[in-house]
């Protein structure tokens, strides 16, 4: 089995963290803040279209991000869900225009994971502290958004199982990538929420009685789906402590842009 690996690099002026080996034919990357046209608190590569930024700037930023992963010209085929902190998974099985348009409509009605088995259908999910997860399999991929609600609902495990069902593979054939997210030392939560997570995953997901390690809980959810630690590569930077590189909702007081998790089979 190939081991997943993440490398920080620059493509067309955009800073990315990705697996440049293109595992199973899937191009994947997590974006950083650099390389876009947005200004102020959205500076500069804001990919979120629901946080108050100029829509024209967001469109240009998305064009640049897609071009940076080799998906230039596929902007109209981009599947970008309205993220609602749930566990709904949208599946894209065909790449014809009608199927892509139907998937886009379904995603915009509310979803937190997208599974794709078609070529030339890029997916973008946006983040500013929540956990981005990209999962790769022979013949497909999944991208998931795992905030605390999605993590409790084990959205990453659901995305992995849906991907396996769609491509007909077992968990040993999956590779998973956990992107930049808020670290446990920066993520203070209520005592009630801490107890809920401890009950659901075990006390090891708490770095203190009220500091929650979302990434550890996501790793546990992936393990429940059969994805071992050796099959996962993680970005270890905390978004709330590395605001020069990433957007952080908590560190900014709630007004900021969004970095992204992008994947496509080109």
Q: What is the CATH number of the domain that holds 62?
A: 3.60.140.10
In a domain, 184, yes or no: yes
Cα(182)–Cα(175) distance, rounded to whole angstroms?
Answer: 22
- Contact between 248 and 129 under an 8 Å Cβ cutoff? The reply is yes
Cα(42)–Cα(50) distance, rounded to whole angstroms?
Answer: 12
Q: Note the pLDDT of residue 228.
A: 97
- Contact between 124 and 65 under an 8 Å Cβ cutoff? The reply is yes
Sign of the CA dihedral running 5, 258, 247, 156: negative
Show the tokens assigned to 210: 């009220």
Nearest alpha carbon to residue 254 among 128, 156, 145: 128
In a domain, 142, yes or no: yes
With H, G, I as helix, E, B as strand and everything else as coil, classify residue 185.
helix
In a domain, 1, yes or no: no
Of the pLDDT bands very low, low, confident and very high (cuts 50, 70, 90), residue 2 is: confident
* Overall number of domains in the chain: 1
In a domain, 141, yes or no: yes
In a domain, 96, yes or no: yes
In a domain, 2, yes or no: no
Which domain covers residue 189, as residue numbers?
Answer: 7-265
Note the pLDDT tens digit of each residue in 65-83.
Answer: 999 999 999 999 999 999 9
Average pLDDT of the chain to the nearest whole number: 98
Show the tokens assigned to 58: 């967001």
Taken as a whole, the chain contains a residue count of 266
Mean pLDDT of 124-133: 98
Across 237-252, b (16+ Cβ under 10 Å) vs e yields bbbbebeebbbbbbbe
In a domain, 238, yes or no: yes
Q: Note the pLDDT of residue 1.
A: 63
Note the pLDDT tens digit of each residue in 236-259.
Answer: 999 999 999 999 999 999 899 999
- Contact between 180 and 237 under an 8 Å Cβ cutoff? The reply is yes
Note the pLDDT tens digit of each residue in 173-191.
Answer: 999 999 999 999 999 999 9
Q: Note the pLDDT of residue 102.
A: 98
- Contact between 215 and 160 under an 8 Å Cβ cutoff? The reply is no
Rounded alpha-carbon distances, angstroms, from residue 146 to 61, 62, 135, 150? 23, 21, 13, 5
In a domain, 250, yes or no: yes
């Amino acid at each position: 089995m190939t081991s997943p690996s993440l490398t920080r690099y620059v493509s067309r002026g955009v800073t990315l963290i990705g697996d440049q080996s293109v595992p199973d034919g899937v191009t994947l990357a997590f974006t950083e803040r650099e390389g876009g046209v947005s200004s102020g608190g959205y500076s500069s590569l804001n990919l979120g279209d629901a946080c108050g930024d100029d829509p024209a700037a967001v469109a240009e930023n998305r064009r640049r991000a897609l071009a940076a992963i080799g998906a230039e010209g596929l902007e109209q085929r981009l599947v970008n869900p309205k993220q609602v902190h749930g566990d709904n998974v949208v599946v894209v099985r065909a790449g014809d225009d009608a199927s892509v348009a139907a998937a886009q409509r379904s995603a915009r009605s509310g979803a937190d994971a997208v599974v794709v088995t078609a070529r030339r259908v890029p997916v973008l999910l946006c983040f500013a502290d929540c956990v981005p997860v990209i999962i790769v399999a022979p013949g497909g991929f999944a991208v998931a958004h795992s905030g605390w609600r999605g993590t409790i609902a084990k959205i990453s495990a659901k995305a992995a199982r849906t991907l396996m069902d769609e491509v007909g593979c077992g968990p040993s054939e999956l590779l998973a990538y956990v992107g930049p997210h808020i670290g446990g030392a920066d993520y203070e939560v209520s005592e009630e929420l801490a107890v809920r997570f401890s009950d659901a995953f075990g006390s090891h997901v708490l770095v203190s009685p009220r500091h929650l390690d979302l990434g550890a809980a996501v790793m546990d959810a992936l393990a429940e789906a059969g994805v071992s630690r050796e099959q996962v590569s993680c970005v270890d930077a905390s978004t709330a402590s590395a605001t020069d590189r990433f957007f952080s909702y908590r560190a900014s007081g709630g007004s900021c842009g969004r970095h992204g998790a992008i994947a496509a089979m080109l």
